[in-house]
Structure 1
Amino acid sequence: MNPDQNIIPILKLALRYHREGNLDYAKYVYQHVLGIDSRNADAMHLLGVSVYQSEQYDIAVSLITEAIQIDPTKPLFFTNLGNAFQKQGELEKSTQAYQKAIQLQPSYVDAHYNLGNVFQKQGELEKSTQAYQKAIQLQPDYADAYFNLGNSLREQGKLEESTRALQKAIQLQPDYADAYFNLGNSLREQGKLEESTHALRKAIQLQPDYADAHFNLAVLLLLQGDFVEGWEKYEWRWNSSLKSQKRDFKRPLWDGSALDGKSILIYAEQGFGDSIQFVRYIDLFPDADSSIIVACEPELKSLFKGIDRIDTLVTKGEDIPNFDFHVPIVSLPYIFNTTLDTIPARIPYLYPKPTADSVFHLGGSDDLKVGIVWAGSPTHINDSNRSVSLKDFKCLLDVEGCQFFSLQVGQRSVDIRQHGYNYMIKDLGKQLTDFHHTALAILQLDLVISVDTAVAHLAGSLGKPVWTLLPFIPDWRWMLSRSDTPWYPSMTLFRQKERGDWYSVFQEIRLALTLYSG
């Protein structure tokens, strides 16, 4: 009898174990086959696949590579090698493996699909789109390919095409919760908020514990001014993609009940702007005999020292005193049942105290002193939409009766020199070592013009006139349509009327500044 004929039933047994999810049994039988025939490519490959499914990716790469050396003609081997490389983060090697699979079998749908996934991870969005479209051409009912095509198109800003692809994925697979979720996001970015809300609610209906869908729905509701359901759903963030920011303490989470003289830790969780915006809630704590501990970013510590109700301030790396309860700062609006009419709006609520190194030489001119900020943190998820080029500000710099001062810090502060604007803008950036110093600088100015950054929040918290530039679909806290905000009475909002159109915004600001300085 041919030895291969003896191996075939054993391989079939291994495959049965494998398909049933009994990986340990499957591995044992594959190894038994290799003990009979060490050059059995199928057994070597399938052993590699089972190891891959056990998340032992280095070993999987080694085994599947060995299978390919035995038999380099099988596209499936190269596809699974590409999968293992992808898990290792070896995206270039993964790309090469998928391309080899396609070379061997041009009609191999999964190879085209997986190649699209790698291109998307590499930021090669046009290539990923082409790969997904090829997979769809070969298999028109491939819902996952339509889904990822929609995601790739959305990343390219092709929102209408993205919407159509995601709708097609849903048509093919009506219970596709992830497709409804991403459809909701795409529709939101187009300003189709009612349709976006419907899509996110459908995702939740299909998958009730879909934390990211609950959280994104919260953002959408808050954007539309629905604070009641919005704040409630915002608490889903701790189970969403933001859960890594959650801090685990042995003490109980505060639910708004009376503190009765006990201590509470309030801690920052997201960005500087969130901490500045929501630190106002500390004034609402009714128990004067209770101790309030605040854990904040180091850059905010000196600024928050001026808040009388805070008993102890700590930053990262410092020991936290014992406390009885804890609460993340962005949960305070929910706990205090905040509505549009009950936003704490006692302005100012931050009182920075002058220091010896906080003297800013702004000149003795009677001109309007205008501070500007054109970029936020480059790591912010929405930075590409909310930050602008310093060149966009150029149309303001010749408005008569105005002097301009840069409050920009970080890597974008060099833009002044790079664009040759040194003679038009006085750079204060090197003196702004923390938000306390930035606040003191703002107090010496007449007006701040800023994109949506922590500096805009800071100026608003100080009661200084501040003009904030907003993208077409802004962060939830600025809501929609209105030019004012209940969070900061001294703030005026200048909004994009069309996605990506900053030119019109700056023309509107130029006119307003001309009138303001006159």
Structure 2
Amino acid sequence: MAPDGFQTASRLAQEGQFAAAEQAARRFARDNPRHPGVFSLLGRLAADGRAEEALAAYDQALALAPDHAPTVSNRAQALRALGRSAEALAAYDRALTLKPDYAVAWCNRAETLCALDRAEEAVESADRAVALDPTLAEAHANRAQALNALGRHADALAAAQQALTLRPAAPRALRHGGDALTGLGRSAEAEQAYCQALSLAPRLAEAWIGRGLARQAQGRHAEALADLDEAVRLDPDSADSRYHRGLLRLMTGDFAGGWDDYEHRWGREGFLRRSAPARLVALRDQLRIRAAPADLAGRKVLVVGEQGIGDQVMFASLLVDLARDAAEITCVCDPRLLRLFRHSFPQIAFVGLDRLGAVETAGFDEILPLGGLAYAYRQGRSAFPGAPYLSPSPEVVARWRARLGPGRPKIGVSWRGGTDLTGAAGRSLSPEALATLISIKGVTWVSLQYGDTAPVEARQAGGDAVTVFPASEIDDFEDLAGLVMSLDLVVSVQTALIHLTGALGQRCLTLIPSAPEWRYGATGATMPWYSSVELCRQTTPGDWNGPFDRVAAAVRAARESV
């Protein structure tokens, strides 16, 4: 081929004539097999949709010129496209060792760190990219992605807007801006951002997911499901799209399809890092996924708790079903649940999650995550018995009743649930709303709040003090259960207390925001898990007046019954 063949291939690529560029590059490579630049070019031409070919081309280029930082960085991109994020991060680090001021590598490294659920490091990497090249729109977009992962949605929105200022038609920046708006509770605006992203990149599965979640937050469940179906169609192997579709299916009562999708949580890096103990993650390849009851009959089964303590309490209802089938069960759970679970399920052996590493797993026929039992035993609404399944020891209950003493009705209250990453703002009561709630007279309010109780400590609400017990006295869930069983009523926002109260069969009024968690269902005053829990739903975001009216009526009834 003519000496200028490589330049011709490069020019064609710059002009967007990619097929012609690839043909020219391949001809040149055939005649010049020791030219690293042509293999790097072939890698770039294959990068969009042919990541395996791109990786092979970059490897050929680096075999000839191992210290070429841009090629090392491009190779990292190919690894990232193949889902090999840990290897991609190592490659970016190698590129930055060769060229520390390489803004593009810092930028793409941030996206890879997000994929590994290392958001704080991702912000730092994006900040380095921005400092080196403030005009790099993708760096601002990746910074927005990382800030969203940290729950810093206002900062993420500002970063996304900066990216769009630099490049107005940037689908990923629009998508991350939509994620920020969703996190800020501005779901209608978020939907518009996702629509813009999809008009530019209709195959961007993450934007279909985002728009689906924005529509779900607005109560438009059929449209949301259609969006999530499209995300699954575009990327059938995406754990994110299947997981989010699963939660929506569960919310709307499609339990068979919902639990099937829900099992994809084990493919999500964020879930593994935040919601599963490290030892359970190490056992992932040994977990029995989508087990049927027949698979468990007569077997020796190890069940391992996952997610938060409220999830473990909720999914513990499934141990009742498993106990009818399995020959022998050991369950690993949060140490705070050990006393209560042991008293409630004497036929099951319980071990604290902090001792999971000492459990000899080879002695079990099957190892299952606790939430995975739902696939086996809750395939339809009729499969939820709704009956109480936890009970503290009578001695614990008697001790609390004696301590609380006789007199006017005693009502437990919890006003804050979740974190910045799990929608705490939307599901918690403001100080003003809390003051309105506990100002109802003629009852004894008892704090059941986990953590900071400063908003009610020593507070006089219309002359009625709120009783607060030291955290050390109710941190163990058998002690907390004994206190709950000694009350006349519980009023709470979405938190683990709901699951405990429902599992005990104690009456609970739950204050539900307009966009609730999946487990509370899309509509209605009841949830399938517990027959004693009554849902008081918002009809307008942020407006608790309707739910508070129901609570006030229940409190008055309790007061008049004494």
TM-score (norm 1): 0.81
The corresponding residue for 1:402 is: 443
1:462 to 480, 501, 504: 504
Q: Distance in 2 between matches of 1:50 and 1:440?
A: 60
Change (3 A) 1:262 1:230: closer
Pair 1:495-2:545 in alignment: no
Q: Post-superposition shift, 1:203?
A: 0.8
- Counterpart check, 1:350 vs 2:386: no
Name the amino acid aligned to 1:60.
Answer: A
Relative to structure 1, the CA distance from residue 336 to residue 87 in structure 2 (aligned partners, 3 Å threshold; closer, same or farther) is: closer
Q: Does 1:248 align with 2:284?
A: yes
1:333 equivalent in structure 2: 374
Alignment of 1:320 with 2:359, yes or no, is: yes
Larger fraction in helix: 2
- The correspondence for 1:144, drawn from 150, 166, 172, is 172
Between 1:504-513 and 1:449-458, the stretch displaced more is 504-513
Provide the secondary structure at the position in 2 that maps to 1:188: helix
Give me the whole-angstrom Cα distance separating, in 2, the residues matched to 1:501 and 1:95: 38
Please show how residues 72-471 of structure 1 align to structure 2 within 5 Å.
77-83=102-108, 89=121, 91=123, 94-95=126-127, 97-102=129-134, 109-110=137-138, 113=141, 116=144, 125-126=153-154, 128-133=156-161, 135-136=163-164, 139-241=167-269, 242-243=271-272, 245=276, 246=281, 247-248=283-284, 250=286, 254-257=291-294, 259=296, 261-285=298-322, 287=324, 290-308=327-345, 310-316=347-353, 317=355, 319-320=358-359, 322-346=363-387, 348-355=388-395, 359-360=399-400, 362-378=403-419, 381-389=422-430, 391-409=432-450, 411-417=451-457, 424-428=465-469, 429-471=471-513
Q: Which amino acid aligns with 1:457?
A: H
- Would the aligned equivalents of 1:368 and 1:517 in 2 still touch at CA under 8 Å? yes
Structure 2 CA distance for aligned equivalents of residues 369 and 48 of structure 1: 66
- Say if 1:101 and 1:239 are closer, same or farther in 2 by CA, change over 3 A: closer
Distance 2:147 2:382 in 1: 48
Distance (whole Å) between structure 2 residues aligned to residue 278 and residue 181 of structure 1: 27
Alpha carbons of structure 1 residues 26 and 50: separation in structure 2 relative to 1, 3 Å: farther
Deviation at 1:213, TM superposition (A): 1.3
- Counting aligned pairs with the same residue, the percent is 26
Distance 1:450 1:336, change over 3 A: same
Q: Deviations over 1:347-371 (max 9, x none)?
A: x322211457972354444211111
Contact kept in structure 1, 2:484 and 2:506, CA below 8 Å: yes
Aligned-pair CA distance for 1:29: 5.3
Alignment RMSD, CA only?
A: 3.6
Q: Which runs of 5+ in 1 are unaligned?
A: 1-7, 33-42, 69-76
Check the 8 A contact 1:439/1:458 in 2, yes or no. yes
Q: Cα gap change, 1:378/1:82 in structure 2, threshold over 3 Å: closer, same or farther?
A: closer
Contact 1:460 1:466 in 2 (8 A): yes
Q: Give per-residue Cα distances to partners, 1:27-75, cap 9 Å, x unaligned.
A: 465578xxxxxxxxxx6x637746866634445334334xx6xxxxxxx
Quickly say closer, same or farther: Cα 1:252–1:485, change in 2 above 3 A: closer
Bigger mean CA deviation after superposition, 483-492 or 422-431: 422-431
CA positional deviation for 1:513: 1.8
Q: Which moved more, 1:278-287 or 1:245-254?
A: 245-254
Residue 465 of structure 1 and its aligned partner are, at CA, apart by: 1.2
Q: Aligned to 2:416, what secondary structure does the other structure show?
A: coil
Change (3 A) 1:380 1:451: farther
Tell me the amino acid that sits aligned with residue 523 of structure 2: S
Q: Which residue of 2 aligns with 1:64?
A: 99
Report the more deviating stretch, 134-143 or 430-439.
134-143
- Compute the displacement of 1:192 (Å): 1.4
- CA shift, 1:384, in A, is 3.0
* Equivalent position SS for 1:359: helix
AA matched with 1:491 = V
User: Which residue of the other structure, out of 38, 41, 48, is the alignment partner of 1:16?
Assistant: 41
* C-alpha displacement of 1:504: 4.2
Q: CA deviation at 1:427?
A: 0.9
- Structure 2: gaps spanning 5 or more residues: 1-9, 11-31, 45-53, 78-87, 114-120
Cα-to-partner distance string for 1:255-274 (whole Å, 9 max, x where unaligned): 31165543222221122222
Question: Relative to 1, partners in 2 of residues 1:506 and 1:57: Cα closer, same or farther, differing over 3 Å?
Answer: same
Separation (CA, whole Å) in 2 of partners of 1:175 and 1:265? 41
Distance 1:236 1:48 in 2: 32
Question: Aligned residue pairs: how many?
Answer: 485
Distance verdict in 2 for CA 1:358–1:389, change over 3 Å: farther
Q: Does the Cα contact within 8 Å between 1:259 and 1:287 map onto a contact in 2?
A: no
Q: Which residue of 1 aligns with 2:85?
A: none
Q: Against the structure 1 CA distance between its residues 323 and 393, is the aligned structure 2 distance closer, same or farther, given a 3 Å change threshold? A: same
Deviation at 1:448, TM superposition (A): 0.9
Deviates more, 1:254-263 or 1:13-22: 13-22
- Cα offset, 1:453, TM superposition: 1.6
Question: Which residue identity does 1:64 align to in structure 2?
Answer: K
User: Which amino acid is the alignment partner of residue 98 of structure 1?
Assistant: V
Tell me the distance in 2 between the aligned counterparts of 1:115 and 1:109. 10
Displacement of 1:117 in angstroms is: 5.0
Question: Following the alignment from structure 1 to structure 2, what is the Cα–Cα distance between the partners of residues 64 and 284?
Answer: 59
* Structure 1 position 390, deviation (Å): 5.2
* 1:291–1:47 distance in 2 versus 1, CA, 3 Å: closer
Matches of residues 46-61 of structure 1 in structure 2 within 5 Å? 46=70, 49=73, 55-61=90-96
TM-score computed with the length of structure 2 as normaliser: 0.75
SS at match of 2:264: helix
Q: Secondary structure at the match of 2:344?
A: coil
SS at match of 1:293: strand
- Aligned partners of 1:203 and 1:388: how far apart in 2? 34
Aligned 8 A contact 1:392 1:503 in 2: no
Looking at structure 2, the residues matched to 118 and 47 of structure 1 have their Cα atoms a distance apart, in angstroms, of: 25
Give the superposition deviation at 1:220: 0.9
1:251/1:323 contact within 8 Å kept: no
Letter in 2 for 1:452: Q
Counterparts in 2 of 1:133 and 1:476: CA distance versus 1, 3 Å: closer
Q: Does the aligned pair in 2 maintain the 1:151–1:162 contact within 8 Å?
A: yes
One-letter identity of the residue aligned with 2:95: A
1:464 shift after superposition: 1.3
The CA distance in 1 between the partners of 2:244 and 2:324, in whole Å, is: 34
Q: Deviations over 1:61-99 (max 9, x none)?
A: 34334xx6xxxxxxxx54445555786827457436425
- CA distance in 2 between counterparts of 1:216 and 1:405 reads 36
Task: Give SS of 2:399's match.
Answer: coil
